[in-house]
Amino acid sequence: MNDKRNKAKEQIEWLRQEIERHNRDYYVKNSPTISDFEFDMMMNDLAALEKAYPEFASADSPTNRVGSDLSTAEGFKSYPHKYPMLSLGNTYSIAELEGFCNRIATSSSENVSYCCELKFDGTAICLSYINGKLKRALTRGDGTNGDDVTANVKTISSIPTSITDDGFDFEIRGEIYMPFDSFERLNKEKIDSSEVPFANPRNAAAGSLKTLDPKEVRKRGLQCVLYHIIGENLPFSSHSEAIRWAASKGFPVSEFSRVCKSTAEVVSYIEEWDVKRKSLPFATDGVVIKTDDLALQKKLGYTAKSPRWATAYKFKPEEALTKLLSIDYQIGRTGAITPVANLEPVRLSGTVVKRASLHNSDQMEALDIRIGDYVYVEKGGEIIPKITRVETSKREAGAVHPHFPEKCPSCGSMLVKDEDEARHYCNNELCPMRIKGRFLHFVSRKAMNINAGEATIEQLYDNGLIKSLPDLYSLTADQLISLDGWKEKSVNNFLESISESKKVPFFRVLYALGLRHIGETTAKMLASHFGSMESLSRATKEELLAIDEIGETIAASLSAYFMENGHIEMIHRLKAAGLQMETEKREKLSNLLEGQSIVISGNFSVSREEIKALITAHSGKNTGSVSSKTSFLLAGEKPGPEKIRKAETLGIKIISEEEFYSLINNN
Ligand code: IVH
């Protein structure tokens, strides 16, 4: 193979991997790290390379498949789609869009009409109605199967659960989205309770739809717009007619759609909305252009990934020009330093931007930024906007170079930058900012849920009342009342919430300690596996690595943490204060699984933790991976193919959830 082909092959493989990773961040984690524009450009590069080197094309490539939102966690059952749920082709170029219209026009002998619609930036939904009743709501999933989110969709009041039956069953598809005002409110709540906010309204909508508690979903202010009706023998001849029918039945449809009779009309719709979208109360990322005539749609058909009768024209990401006032250097509880720009407030995509991330020192150098510069800000994949470039033509004389600190602005210790890391770190465990960060994490809602915000923590720390986490539990009313702004009532409330926190279960205590890489899910898993802080702290690296969900990073973080005497001593003090250091013991139910070593895989009708607890309660042992010692593999929905294969090879019995219940006689 010559050099160029080799390079192309490598590049294709790299792009596929990167795109898959970003697909997971976007669709499954709801937490993208790049902008849609950057993602689309990677897709374009991949498609171009696959075209130039067809020998490396593959049906498996992301250019031929839709991204998947199927949950890997428990909680949602997936069902097959009656009709595949595809994606849309897209372009950022008017010339390419005109090409699309021309191709459609040449395949019809008549004058073609296009229905132009806004491209709502939310998450796709498919509602099926049988005999006029809403039967099921599925997410797009991987296009073939979707997750059942009916209970959550029913909390959106604009979606009718039943309509007067016109004698045909149908599916109606559309978008669930979160308007800017609900998004801002939700993120404010998240920030107030020290949770990670959503990056954008789209992720907030998708994440909310995959929330397990419909009561919580109801509070989120989700909206829906429907834009596609499918079924057998539908009595419509055009798309716009079908949508008018949907509106007459009470379905929420867009008021901004327009039937255009020529390419020029399509282009002027796009130009009009590229301006008007900036004042809409929700996010749009483009315009969708659909062939209006349904017979022509049928004739044009589909590729493996998208319809040939529709495409999306996507708007370039919005940017705003504003002045850089100053730069703060923030220190997180892990010690990482982030330069954050303070900006003259400016409106961007529906919200007011005052701060933007500068990421790290390399980025600041690359931008060649000065204090007082006019800079362009853009919303990328992350919550906090980024500065994309400097408008040097507006640079005033005397604009000063920012000085990236050599020492920690909080504790003065020298900052360290590892060669392969872009960020600088303060490695001083006793750095006041890092300590405050640890306290804030400790009191946050998902951790100990103590009623204290940044200002309270700051005040208590600055007054020398709290230095280490257990100090919170020896605070007295006398100490608090002597501080500025505290009244008897606030003192009592605060002490009450500290006392209440002693009841939070062990896994949350573990999460609250804020070990690197130990998020809520990992903490839950560790708590259920080890049962107590004592046995977790004694686990060897090998024992940790033997657990399915634990890799090198987490094992290393745990080992390092428990090596430090200071941490052990702190845990002893927290235990003495009355915090839960053990998983609540389940009553022993039977000896039915005594001596049995059981591996579980896949999703169950109850949580995995519950299944594990049942195994223990019946005296069995849950182990991570299938070996010759395994008694049986308990397989739920979508079990790991690797485990199934291994069990089959070793001749180990595979039983279903149902069979498991009859085994333990517990329905
Ligand atoms: S029509 C067969 N119309 O954009 C494809 N999609 O990037 C039918 N979207 O998967 C889709 N607004 O989730 C259509 N007015 C609109 C839309 C729209 C947003 C979403 C949809 C689609 C994605 C493609």
pLDDT at 193: 64
Segment 296-318 shows an average pLDDT of: 94
Pocket test for ligand 1, best of 82, 138, 227, 253 (most atoms within 8 A of CB): 227
Distance (angstroms) between ligand 1 centre and the Cα of 10 equals 32
Residue 124 near ligand 1, beta carbon < 6 Å: yes
Residue 230 near ligand 1, beta carbon < 6 Å: no
pLDDT at 283: 92
The three-class DSSP label of residue 439 is: helix
Residue 533 near ligand 1, beta carbon < 6 Å: no
> Active-site residue among 4, 82, 119, 646?
119
pLDDT at 356: 94
Q: Measured between alpha carbons, how far apart are the two ends of the chain, in Å?
A: 61
pLDDT at 83: 95
Distance (angstroms) between ligand 1 centre and the Cα of 122 equals 9
Residue 228 near ligand 1, beta carbon < 6 Å: yes
Segment 266-292 shows an average pLDDT of: 95
Residue 175 near ligand 1, beta carbon < 6 Å: yes
Average model confidence (pLDDT) across the chain = 91
The three-class DSSP label of residue 312 is: strand
Residue 126 near ligand 1, beta carbon < 6 Å: no
Pocket test for ligand 1, best of 65, 117, 175 (most atoms within 8 A of CB): 175
Strand locations in 232-309 (E)? 258-260, 284-291
Structure tokens at 621: 């042992």
pLDDT at 4: 87
The answer to whether residue 565 scores a pLDDT higher than 80 is yes
To which residue do tokens 């007295």 refer?
476
CA distances from 625 to 160, 182, 548, 638, 666 (A): 46, 44, 6, 16, 25
The residue nearest atom 21 of ligand 1, judged by CA position, is 124
Structure tokens at 387: 């500065």
Q: How many residues does the chain have?
A: 667
Residue 202 near ligand 1, beta carbon < 6 Å: no
How far apart CA 547 and CA 383 sit, in angstroms, is 33
Provide CB contacts within 8 A for 91, sequence distance 6+.
97, 100, 311, 312, 313, 314
Residue 87 near ligand 1, beta carbon < 6 Å: yes
pLDDT at 667: 45
Which is more confidently placed, 419 or 544? 544
Q: Which amino acid is at 609?
A: E
Spell out the alpha helix ranges (H) of 78-157: 94-106, 150-153
Distance (angstroms) between ligand 1 centre and the Cα of 141 equals 14
Pocket test for ligand 1, best of 176, 288, 290, 298 (most atoms within 8 A of CB): 288
The three-class DSSP label of residue 629 is: coil
Residue 300 near ligand 1, beta carbon < 6 Å: no
Catalytic site includes residue 314: no
Segment 231-241 shows an average pLDDT of: 96
Distance (angstroms) between ligand 1 centre and the Cα of 36 equals 15
Distance (angstroms) between ligand 1 centre and the Cα of 280 equals 18
Q: 192: part of which helix (H) or strand (E)? A: helix 180-192
pLDDT at 382: 67
Segment 274-297 shows an average pLDDT of: 95
504 pLDDT band, cuts 50/70/90, is: very high
pLDDT at 453: 85
The residue nearest atom 7 of ligand 1, judged by CA position, is 88
The residue nearest atom 16 of ligand 1, judged by CA position, is 119
Residue 81 near ligand 1, beta carbon < 6 Å: no
Of ligand 1's listed atoms, the one at least distance from the Cα of 302 is 2
Backbone dihedral angles phi then psi of residue 424, each to the nearest 5 degrees: -90, 150
Exposure string of 419-439, with b = 16+ CB inside 10 Å and e = fewer, is: eeeebbbbebeebbbbbbbbb
Segment 150-161 shows an average pLDDT of: 94
Residue 312 near ligand 1, beta carbon < 6 Å: yes
Residue 100 near ligand 1, beta carbon < 6 Å: no
DSSP of 385-418? -EEEEE-GGGPPTTPBPP---SB-TTT-PBPEE-
DSSP-derived pairing of the beta strands 597-601 and 621-622: parallel
pLDDT at 520: 83
In contact, 322 and 343? CB cutoff 8 Å: yes
Domains, the chain, with CATH or none: 2-64 (1.10.287.610), 78-314 (3.30.470.30), 319-421 (2.40.50.140), 429-503 (1.10.150.20), 597-665 (3.40.50.10190)
The residue nearest atom 12 of ligand 1, judged by CA position, is 119
Segment 4-24 shows an average pLDDT of: 90
How far apart CA 113 and CA 208 sit, in angstroms, is 37
194 pLDDT band, cuts 50/70/90, is: low
Distance (angstroms) between ligand 1 centre and the Cα of 634 equals 39
